[in-house]
Amino acid sequence: MKFIRNNKIWLSHRAEKLIQNKHPDLYNTIWDDLILKFENNFCGRKNWPYVILVVLTFFTVSGFNPECLSFLNCLDFDVALAKSIIDQRTTNIAAITSISLVVVGFLLTNLALKSPLTIKILFKESYLYLTVYLVFSTIICLILLSTFRDTLDPYVFTRTVLAGTYLCILILILIGYLFSNIIRFTDEKHISGLLKKELLNEGKEQLKLLFLKKYSAEIYSDFASKKCTLYIFELSLPNFFSGNFTVSKASPDDQENYRILKDVNLMFLSVFMFIKKLNKKNTLNFKPLKINESFDYNEDMIWTNSNSNSRFEKWFLKKSMIVSKDFEIKKENSTYRNEFDKMIIELAEENKYKKLESTLDAYLDLYKLQILNQKSNS
């Protein structure tokens, strides 16, 4: 997992740190980064397992270990009151949610700009998926509590009903937030601003990937050059008869031999090179590597003289790398760039030049971002 590789023994970590130092404008503030991580983990269409897990954990901790959530004990009631309100909570939340979804559907038909990408941004900004998943998981838990009201321990039952009450309050807040965001999407300027923001974020991510390839290649080359010699293929008669060269017989599209490099464990490579250099007669050679580029996974990346590595050495070198067979990651994500290109063509055909100015302004900001980072890179 990515967080395990968040240290300097990994090539990607060193490259990302170098990008942060040289191009700080490509990164969000700490607060914005936390919000982005929250949205990516809980607000997406496929994040329902995480929401359900959080809700179940909250109910469980509230019922069996309430000391962990003592700061939520501002409300309290007895068992009799808990049994009387448990069904009301379920009914109220179900009714409010059904009415809210009807209103949401009505507002979606009145969006200023209707497109799949606009609706995607709307769902992301309004936390619609999070709200829906939270509602259904809370209702399920409340129904289970109502079913086992006479089976559970009175103290546990009371604390879990209290937890459900807090979740109901949170759901009402999220529904209000949902309405406020959907209403703002009836303003075309607001949507254009969000599209421009997403376009710049997309441009920043593309620049990060570009610099990740560049800096990872430089860092790996500097690291390996301390004990190895860069291998340069030169076809000559002495090399030909001695066999002191390797040529890949596979093509980059060969899924069997080629992989996408995701990361390299530099500590493992240091150990490998140290053991190899114990024999002073050995001359180590290495081939250049860069993250997110395809390479022949079966070829040696570091070897001695003109000798191939042993089976164990090949296995050890492969274990020092994290690779992927998914060649789609090489393609840049240009979703918002394509959307803006489409908008420019449509506005130009309809002679809406005033609206075209704001779209071109977004491209100008993107161009400034690229120029600024190219200057800092030079």
Domain boundaries, the chain: 43-186, 226-327
| pLDDT at residue 228 in the model | 84
Select the more confidently predicted residue: 262 or 83.
Answer: 262
∠ CA 328-194-196, rounded to 5°: 70
Determine which of 20-24, 77-81, 252-256, 349-353 has the lowest per-residue pLDDT on average. 252-256
Mark 54-72 as b/e (b = at least 16 C-beta within 10 Å): ebeebbebbbeebeeeeee
The predicted-structure confidence for 102-112, as pLDDT tens digits, reads as follows: 877 777 776 66
- Which amino acid is located at 360 in the chain? L
Which residues pair with residue 296 across a beta bridge? 258
| pLDDT at residue 217 in the model | 94
Q: Residue range 4-11: average pLDDT?
A: 85
Percent with pLDDT over 70 in the chain:
84
CA distance readout (Å), 33 to 27, 29, 36, 38, 140? 8, 6, 5, 9, 32
Indicate the DSSP class of residue 68: G
Average predicted confidence (pLDDT) for the chain: 81
| pLDDT at residue 276 in the model | 85
In CATH, what number does 226-327 get? 3.90.1170
The predicted-structure confidence for 112-135, as pLDDT tens digits, reads as follows: 667 778 888 888 888 989 999 999
- Which amino acid is located at 22 in the chain? K
In 3D, which of 161, 162, 172 has the Cα closest to residue 95?
Answer: 172
- Quick check: 329 pLDDT over 70? no
- Quick check: 216 pLDDT over 90? yes
Determine which of 36-50, 159-173, 266-280, 323-337 has the lowest per-residue pLDDT on average. 323-337
In 3D, which of 254, 310, 238, 302 has the Cα closest to residue 274?
Answer: 302
Task: List the structure tokens of 287.
Answer: 């081939």
- Quick check: 239 pLDDT over 60? no
| pLDDT at residue 246 in the model | 47
CA distance readout (Å), 359 to 110, 198, 280? 22, 13, 63
| pLDDT at residue 245 in the model | 46
